[in-house]
Structure formats: structure tokens, C-alpha cells
Amino acid sequence: MFQTYHGAVKGTNIGAKGLTGEAYNGNAFWDTETYCLPFYLFHDRNAAKNLLYFRYATLDEAKHRARALDCKGAFYPIATISGRECCDLWQHASLQLQASTAVAYGIWLYEKITGDESFLEEYGLEMLIEISRMLATRGDFNPERTEYGYYCVMGPDEFQMMVNNNCYTNYMGKFTFEYTLDIMEKMKKENPGRLKSIKSKVSFDEDETDDWKEKAEKMLILYDEKTKLFEQHKGFFDLPSLDVDSIPVEDFPLYSHWSYDRIYRNNMIKQPDVLMFLLLFNSSFTQDEIRANYEYYEPKCIHESSLSPSVHSIIAEQLGKYDEAIDFFKFATRMDLDNYNRNSGEGLHTTSIAAAWMNIVYGFGGFRSDGEVLSFAPKKPTDWQGYNFRIVYGGAVISVEVKGEEVSIKTLGGEKISVKVYGADTEIGGLETVFRIPA
């Protein structure tokens, strides 16, 4: 990851194969903000900032793309080098909104971890406004105007095409509206002059505020209180079921051996969709909700995306499904070494390497960065002697070492930082704080 990108040149991004191969023609995807950004946020803040700056440098292209799709604002491309849409499959390029909402998520996470308000003032809010404009024109209300959502879209699970109210898409749309409005309200109090300048630059209409509030409030999130399941999209629960374990290995990758029509007409999942937003905003959901959705969706996933096994491993570890977590971890870390998906010759899966780092830190380390403070809940696989990792946060280096049945956490420079460890508020500093791993 350090060889691939260090942010020395502003306005550059990470190709899906990094420097290791020519597959995907060097294009960058939404993986940058959802998988790569956390690695750089906790190792190299400047690199993280410049990854996000790429989206600002290409904002005009995103606005041009939005107009081409009959939307206002900015519609970020699924695959790109220069900011122009490079994907030649319309069902991906025109139906997937997650590149745009991933930019909003990246801005949110960057601001949350770094506290860099200047980035919001110079670049972030302008992007958020343009993304919100797209979301406000790409979606629509139901006939009764009681629900708002997105029709004829494709979510992260690319095996479901032209679906209505994909839960990930709707959830991220709601998040983007609310975050944009929150930042505008905050800036109105703290830096009204800068807010006025940004509004003037983008020709902001104050009626947009009420429009976005209504659409966020009425956003349809398909959730069943009884089962605690989020429905991946409207009608997903009614799709024919396919036993993914019955598919011959010779048929993989399916895109090369099955017709698109055959892929799309059942409830087989390519990669995490509902589980994806349950991980991105993990602290917002109960353990029961995460368990119910993992146990429902995991058996339906074939992991044809290199991004998939790490997400499943992280959530499996959180749920105490340690054997599954280890199996998915092996899948994630040895994907290219063992050529699991039969395509390593085309180059390494760079963003899956970032996901494998997340697998250790967020998975076995129990690290979470979406809550009020950083939290840790390390566990040790039974056949491991131990492991350790370090992250940079607020100018300090936090060291976490797991050995035997104990966990030691400290800051290498002696700075004191408030965190949570196994759910308890804790202040860590230069002296090791030692915890027993709960049974």
C-alpha cells in the first residue's frame, strides 16, 4: 500500500491493480474511499487528503456526467483515471450511485478522524452539495409522496440490476443529505462568511435545504422490526434461491462463463451489500441486527469480488464466529498468492490488500472508527501466538499488541488519548495499559 500511493502528487488516485498489472486499464473505483482511505487515514494523513482531493480536482467531470444522466449536481464515475467515466457497461456506469456516496463517506471519515475543518471549507462542502443535488434529482417519491428512494439502480452487489430502493443506496443517500445539512449548519455558526462564499460559488438555492430535509426524512429504508433484516432491495426476499455451493469451480469467474441474464435472476450475491453499510456505520447497529443480517446474507454470497471476504471476516469476528472469520481471512490474504479467483495473472487486487489490513485491525483488533471515540476490542485466534499493529491518530502513534491472553495498548510518544477498550472508557498514554482478553 505504501509503494502504491503516498500522495506526493495532488489529484492522483489508486488504480485497482496498483503498479502490478494492466487489468481494469489503470482505472480507480469506489474502493478508494471505502477500502483504501482508512489505511491511509491511520498511516499517512497527507496521502488520505490527496486521495480525496482527486475527487475535487475531477468535480467538473462529475458534474458533466450528472448532466449526461439527466441529473443536477455531480455523479462520480464508477471507473476512472481522469474523472471521466471509463466503464463501458451502462448497467454499471449509469445505475451505480455508490461512487458518489463513497466520496461523501470519505469526506465524513476524513473530517471525523483528522478534524481538518479547512478541507471542508476549501473542498469538501462544495463536493457534498453537488452530490446531494444529484441524489435529490436521481431519486423520486412514491405515488403517495410518503417515501423517497432510488429506482432502477445497481447497488454494491452487481448481480442485481435495475432494482428499486436498494437498501445500501438509500441508506447512503440519507446519510449524505444529513451530513451535508449538518456541515452547512455548523459552518453557518462557525464560519458564516465562508459558507456564504461557497453558496455563491455553487449558486445555492435556499429551497434546496428544505428539499433535502424532506427527502432524508422520507428515505425508504427496507427494515423488518420483527426479523431485524434489511431487505437488499424491494422484492429481494421473493427472488428464487440458488445454492451457491453447488456451482462448479470451473464456472468461475461467472462473468466469463454465465450469461448476464442467468446471473441476474436469483438471490445470489456477488459481494456484501447490506453488510457493507453495517460495517461502514457499525456503531449505529445492534449486535442482534448485525447477526440477523450476516446469517441471512452470508450463505448467498459467492465472493466474486476481491473486496468481499474481508468484510465477512470482520463481521464474523464481531459475532464470535471465529472459525468463519479465520477462513475468510485466509481467503482475503491469500487471494492472489493462491489465485483463488483465477485471475492473479492480471495483477494484484490492490484494494483487497487494504481490506486485508482492515481485516486484522477492524476484525481481530476489534477497532472501530465510526463512533464518538476510537474503540478497540482485540481477540486472538486460537492458533495464533499473537499479533500487533500501529495506527497514527491525532499526532500520536497508538501501538496495540496482542500476546497470549493479554492486550497491551500505549502511545509511543507518551501522548494521552481517550479511547474505549472492550466498551469501557480508557485513557492510554506512554505506559502500557494491559487488558485480559474476555472469554
The set of catalytic residues is 158
DSSP readout, 37-102?
A: HHHHHTT-HHHHHHHHHHHHHTHHHHHHHHHHTT-SS----SSBSSSS-----HHHHTT--HHHHH
C-alpha cell at 122: 476549501
Return the SS3 of 229.
Answer: strand
Return the SS3 of 410.
Answer: strand
Q: Give the separation between CA 40 and CA 12, rounded to whole angstroms.
A: 14
Q: Give the separation between CA 172 and CA 281, rounded to whole angstroms.
A: 10
Residues 5/40, Cβ–Cβ less than 8 Å: yes
Distances 19 to 84, 157, 177, 354 between C-alpha atoms, Å: 21, 27, 36, 14
- In the block, which residue shows the cell 447512503? 172
User: Hey, how many other C-beta atoms are within 10 angstroms of the C-beta on 242?
Assistant: 15
Find the DSSP H helices in 298-430: 308-318, 322-333, 350-358
Between β-strands 417-421 and 406-411, what pairing exists: parallel, antiparallel or unpaired? unpaired
Q: Give the separation between CA 437 and CA 124, rounded to whole angstroms.
A: 40
- In the block, which residue shows the cell 483487497? 352
Q: Give the separation between CA 279 and CA 156, rounded to whole angstroms.
A: 13
